[in-house]
Amino acid sequence: MLRGLRHCPREGSGTAEPLIRLEGVSFGFGRNAVLEEICLEVRRGDFMAILGPNGAGKTTLLKVVLGLLTPAAGQVSLFGVPAGRFRERYRIGYVPQKAGAFGAFPATVWEVAATGRFARVGFWGRLSKQDEAAVREALAVLGLEHLACRPVQALSGGQRQRVAIARALAAGPEVLLLDEAAEGLDAAGEEAFYGLLERLNRERDLTVVLVTHDIGAVSRRVKQVVCLNRRIIFTGPPQECLENGKLSALYGMPVYVPGRGTESRRRRIYSRER
Amino acid sequence: MEIWQYGFFLRAMAAGVLCGVTCPLVGVFLVARRFSFLADALAHISLTGVALGLILGVAPGVTTLAVVVAAAFAVEWLRQRQRFFADSLLAVAMAGGLALGVILVSKSRGFGADLTGYLFGSLLTVRPEDLYLIAGLAALTVAAVILLYKGLFAVAFDEEYARAAGLSVTVINAAFMVVAALTVAIAIRAVGVLLAGALVVIPVLVAAGVNRSFGGALWTAAATGAVLVLGGLHLSYLLDLPTGPTVVLLGIGVLIGVTLCRRIVLRYRGKVVEAQDFGG
Ligand SMILES: Nc1ncnc2c1ncn2[C@@H]1O[C@H](COP(=O)(O)OP(=O)(O)OP(=O)(O)O)[C@@H](O)[C@H]1O
Ligand SMILES: [Mg+2]
């Protein structure tokens, strides 16, 4: 009964306002426990990477935060409000895993990116000039202005992925949850993308939580790393995570993260499925 | 044309345009969700409604609407739970509705002479009071699509994202199911049970072939639907053919024509023709 209410150690950085708070959250698909006793706090200004092998529950964790899945135990609060009563969903942006897999029915890049704005206007309201400006800016940020009138079906996989990111940014979120969002971006695009996230985090105080397998690429940039494999195995700054064989424990195999060299930095880490 | 002097033909044209516009408006969202078989399934399930009306001695129109709306809700409820593949779910629903309908009909005093009209449509016998009902249902559908457009688009395009963004997806889906059920009821009047699905889907495929945007496809589909029904109505009069099937065959002809033209234009412009797959 009281299991979910037990005291959570405070993680994350400093004393900034907690935007996402998970207390003793557990979730399972049927009997298959996927998340167990997750305690996690994301504070304003955080730049957090979630690492873990395939099937570790990373996507599930994001979906629980977004209210797409209801936890079996524990509590989720968003912006200080219990998730069940939280209404201002537009404050949380989301780029789903495989976000670029849009259907085959025609829709332009503009139309898709604009759906990111719907959470703000509701479906009665019309998109105002301000809303349109926000969509345009999001497209510009991802280098998609010239494709605005193209149907998304006629874009490459990486371009579609950018559309999904633009859609999330168009909402003007305060927290951005990204599920392997850099998947399918080319080397320059990936560099630019992480650079963009870093800039948004620094300049606009956008809080970023990203799920990735590309430890090398994010370790220089993020402020916090969370290692997840059903339970939270480690929370802390990236340097600490890379030391002490924490990653090897997470993946159950020796893991070598290349240093800050440019060549090998992009090597990804794979592991057996759980 | 001489035929325009007759009230029954004018009513047929009016009812036809109303059906021609509403069915594809709903069809666009169904096709985008890969759920276009819903129209066919609901149309077949309507037989249960008609039979219930005959047995209970209630106007079959009323029981049909009730049964179709209830079936739409049931299908949506099951789809949400992801217990079955969406398309097989529809196949089961359709077979079940039809089977129940046939059994009920066999227990009633018989279907009467109207079976052909029910199966293949009976635009030419639309009475003024039918026309008012069709106009009312059509107005409701168009209003719902306009009011809910943003939500419907977001859900049809990416349901999970719409949910994550906090749109009331469940409400949108429920409203959409009611609208879809009403539309099927209208389509049955125009082209009959067997062809209702065609009127919902064919104009949409034509529109999808010539549009880049969703909004564009929506209006093109509605316009195409109206033109197809009007064209089919006149063709069937001139060639003395049954109306519903004529509308459908004309639509398929147009669809093939548009697809071929599109290929030719794209090849002429040197663009790659991307394989598009509008699965049911
Ligand atoms: N719809 C589902 N039904 C049943 N089990 C599921 C479902 N979705 C995920 N799971 C299970 O939940 C576990 C966690 O899945 P999740 O998608 O969260 O993993 P992940 O960490 O995101 O992995 P990946 O790196 O492959 O994206 C997996 O073991 C998977 O088998
Ligand atoms: Mg995942």
For residue A101, what are the domain limits? Answer: 45-67+88-251
Decide: helix, strand or coil at residue A71: coil
Domain-embedded: residue A177: yes
Confidence class for position B55, pLDDT limits 50, 70, 90: confident
User: What was the pLDDT predicted at A6?
Assistant: 45
The environment of the single-atom ion ligand 2, i.e. residues with CB closer than 5 A, is A 59, 97
Residue in A closest to B163 by C-alpha? A68
- Number of structural domains (chain A) is 1
* Whole-angstrom distance, CA of residue A190 vs CA of residue A196: 10
CA of A218 to the centre of ligand 1 (A): 23
Residue whose entry in the numeric block shows the structure tokens 């996989």: A157
SS3 of residue A66 by DSSP:
helix
- Residue of A110, A111, A123 to mutate for B, most B C-beta atoms under 10 A: A123
CB burial string A112-124: b at 16+ within 10 A, e below: bbbbbbbbbbebe
Residue A264 lies in a domain: no
B257 touches chain A (CB under 8 A): no
More confident residue, B66 or A271: B66
H-type alpha helices, chain A: 58-66, 109-121, 129-141, 157-170, 187-203, 215-219, 238-242, 246-251
Q: How far is B139 from chain A (nearest CA, A)?
A: 18
Chain B residues with CB under 8 Å of A153 CB are 274, 276
Whether residue B131 lies within 8 A of chain A, CB to CB, comes out as no
B161 touches chain A (CB under 8 A): yes
pLDDT for position A1: 38
Query: Is A102 in Cβ contact with B154 (below 8 Å)?
Result: no
DSSP A127: P
- Which pLDDT does position B113 carry in this prediction? 52
Site from B161, B205, B206, B262 to mutate, A interface, most A CB atoms within 10 angstroms: B161
- Mean predicted confidence (pLDDT) in A185-189: 82
What is d(CA B277, CA A8) in angstroms, rounded to the nearest whole number? 50
Question: Is there a domain that residue A175 lies in?
Answer: yes
What separation, in Å, do the N-terminal and C-terminal C-alpha atoms of chain A show? 29
Question: pLDDT tens, B77-131?
Answer: 988 887 778 888 899 999 999 999 889 888 877 666 567 777 777 888 888 888 8
Asked whether A13 lines ligand 1 (CB < 6 A), one says no
Confidence of residue A154 (pLDDT cuts 50, 70, 90): confident
- Rounded to an integer, what distance in angstroms lies between the CA atom of residue B75 and that of residue A127? 33
The average confidence (pLDDT) of chain B is 87
CA separation, residue A131 to residues A123, B155, B215 (Å): 13, 20, 18
Structure tokens belonging to residue A42:
């994301």
Q: How confident is the model at residue A158 (pLDDT cuts 50, 70, 90)?
A: confident
CB of A96 shorter than 6 A to ligand 1? no
The answer, yes or no, to whether any atom of ligand 1 lies below 6 A from the CB of A52, is yes
In SS3 terms, chain B reads as: CHHHHCHHHHHHHHHHHHHHHHHHHHHHHHHHCCCCHHHHHHHHHHHHHHHHHHHHCCCHHHHHHHHHHHHHHHHHHHHHHCCCCHHHHHHHHHHHHHHHHHHHHHHCCCCCCCHHHHHHCCHHHCCHHHHHHHHHHHHHHHHHHHHCHHHHHHHHHCHHHHHHCCCCHHHHHHHHHHHHHHHHHHHHHHHCHHHHHHHHHHHHHHHHHHCCCHHHHHHHHHHHHHHHHHHHHHHHHHHCCCHHHHHHHHHHHHHHHHHHHHHHHHHHHCCCCCCCCCCC
Q: Domains for chain B: give ranges and CATH numbers.
A: 2-197 (1.10.3470.10)
The shortest C-alpha distance from B151 to chain A (Å) reads 6
Tokens of A261: 């060299």
Instruction: Provide the pLDDT for residue A104.
Output: 79
The answer on pLDDT for B74 being more than 80 is yes
For A26-45, write each residue's pLDDT tens digit. 999 988 899 999 999 999 99
Q: Is A271 in the pocket of ligand 1 (CB under 6 A)?
A: no
Mean pLDDT, residues B3-27 taken together:
91
pLDDT exceeding 70 applies to what percent of chain B? 94
Please tell me the distance in Å from B163's CA to the nearest CA on chain A. 7
CB contact under 8 A, B167 and A171: no
User: Which of B33, B212, B262, B274 is the mutation pick for testing A, counting most A CBs within 10 A?
Assistant: B212
> Which chain B residue shows the shortest CA-CA distance from A170?
B165
Q: Of A139, A108, A160, A164, give the one whose Cα is nearest residue B211.
A: A108
Does residue A151 fall inside a structural domain? yes
User: For A79-82, which contacts have Cβ atoms below 8 Å and span 24 or more sequence positions?
Assistant: A79/A19, A80/A17, A80/A18
pLDDT digit string (tens) for B171-197?
999 999 999 999 998 888 778 887 888
> What is the H or E stretch that residue A146 is in?
none
Query: Does the structure show a pLDDT above 70 at A9?
Result: no
Burial class of residue A15 (count of CB atoms within 10 Å of its CB; 0-12, 13-18, 19+): exposed
Average pLDDT on A150-176 reads 90
pLDDT at A254: 66
Most trustworthy range by pLDDT among A186-195, A250-259, B132-141, B216-225: B216-225
A274 within some domain: no
In chain B, the N- to C-terminal Cα span, in Å, equals 39
* pLDDT score recorded for residue A263: 36
- Residue A266 pLDDT more than 50? no
pLDDT computed for residue A129 by the predictor: 92
Nearest-by-Cβ selection for A119 from B148, B166, B216? B166
Rounded Cα distance between A223 and A227, Å, is: 13
Which residues on chain A are in Cβ contact (under 8 Å) with B162? 115, 118
CA of A60 from ligand 1 middle (Å) equals 6
Nearest CA to ligand 1 atom 1: A29
- In one letter, which amino acid is B36? S
Query: What confidence category does residue B277 fall into, taking pLDDT thresholds of 50, 70 and 90?
Result: very low
3-state helix, strand, coil in chain A (%, to 5): 35, 25, 40
Q: What is the CATH number of the domain that holds A215?
A: 3.40.50.300
- Enter the tokens of residue A274: 């759980």
User: Between B274 and B243, where is the model more confident?
Assistant: B243
Contacts of A144 (CB under 8 A, 6+ apart): A109, A113, A159, A162, A163, A166
Q: How many CB atoms lie within 10 A of CB B124?
A: 18
Element (H, E) at A176: strand A175-179
- A95-99, A268-272, B221-225: least confidently modelled range: A268-272
Which numbered ligand comes closest to the C-alpha of A61? 1
Higher pLDDT, B51 or B27: B27
Q: A4 or B161, which is more confident?
A: B161
pLDDT at A2 exceeding the cut of 80:
no
- Flag the least confident range among A161-170, A219-228, A236-245: A236-245
**For residue B31, which residues of chain A lie inside 8 Å, CB to CB?**
105
pLDDT tens string B136-156: 989 999 999 999 999 999 999
The pLDDT of residue A264 is: 37
Residue A59 lies in a domain: yes
Instruction: Give the residue ranges of DSSP H helices in A67-186.
Output: 109-121, 129-141, 157-170
